[in-house]
Amino acid sequence: MSVDPNAPTQGAGFPAGPRREHPARYLVPALVAAAVAVGLGAYGKVHDPEGTAFNLAGFSSTSAVKSWLATTAFGFALLQVGSALMVYGKLPGPSWSAALHRWSGRIAFLVAVPVAVHCLYALGYQTYSTRVLWHSFLGCFFFGAFSAKMLLLRSARLPGWLLPLVGGLVFAVLTVVWVTSALWFFRTVGVTT
């Protein structure tokens, strides 16, 4: 009796075991997150700061613009947390909670990007104080973690705990970034435009 080595073994009397998850579905987002965070940090460190990248009419300084944009992004991130709790059934919410979650996340990201561009281009990755060091490090880490979350959203059959964990991490990091920048600015300079 000869055996064909190319014959399929499924259904040939061998029980199909549990499907094993391929580690790349978790490894790729983690590697992308690391690449984004390190890439932003490296750019910020080697780039000669320009001092300013943008200013908006009606604001007294670029720091005021950044602080208000960061606060807006943080406000939408708070909305993200609330709507995520609704989506996951932890809080009662309207039928459009999922749409609220998606759109508040998009707006938060779009508002945060000019702040990050200004920080990297105008100020660079700085370490002259503990506050600034943490702000620089976690600002880069935020965009890496956010990239990983976006990639994980496209994966099917994730463990139910993974997206809330990564989303919570993204929110926690954004909170510290906001505290070390916008809140610090408002407490030091005052709430000004």
Residue 193 has pLDDT above 50, yes or no: yes
Residue 7 has pLDDT above 50, yes or no: no
pLDDT at 61: 75
User: 49: pLDDT confidence band, cut at 50, 70 and 90?
Assistant: confident
Residue 150 has pLDDT above 80, yes or no: yes
**Distance separating alpha carbons of residues 51 and 180, to the nearest angstrom:** 19
Helix and strand totals (H; E) in the chain: 6, 0
Question: CB of 44 within 8 A of CB of 122?
Answer: no
Residue 158 has pLDDT above 70, yes or no: yes
Give the E-state strand segments of 43-118 in sequence order. Answer: none
Four-CA torsion 71, 74, 75, 77, nearest 10 degrees: 160
- What size, in residues, is the chain? 193
What is the mean predicted confidence (pLDDT) over 142-159? 89
Nearest to 144 by CA among 51, 71, 57, 43: 43
pLDDT tens-digit readout, 85-127: 999 999 998 999 999 999 999 999 999 998 898 888 888 888 8
pLDDT at 19: 55
**Distance separating alpha carbons of residues 183 and 179, to the nearest angstrom:** 5
- With a pLDDT cut of 70, the percent of the chain lying above it is 83
pLDDT tens-digit readout, 57-90: 666 677 888 889 999 999 999 999 999 999 999 9
Question: CB of 91 within 8 A of CB of 82?
Answer: yes
Residue 177 has pLDDT above 80, yes or no: yes
Q: Is 13 exposed, middle or buried (0-12, 13-18, 19+ CB in 10 A)?
A: exposed
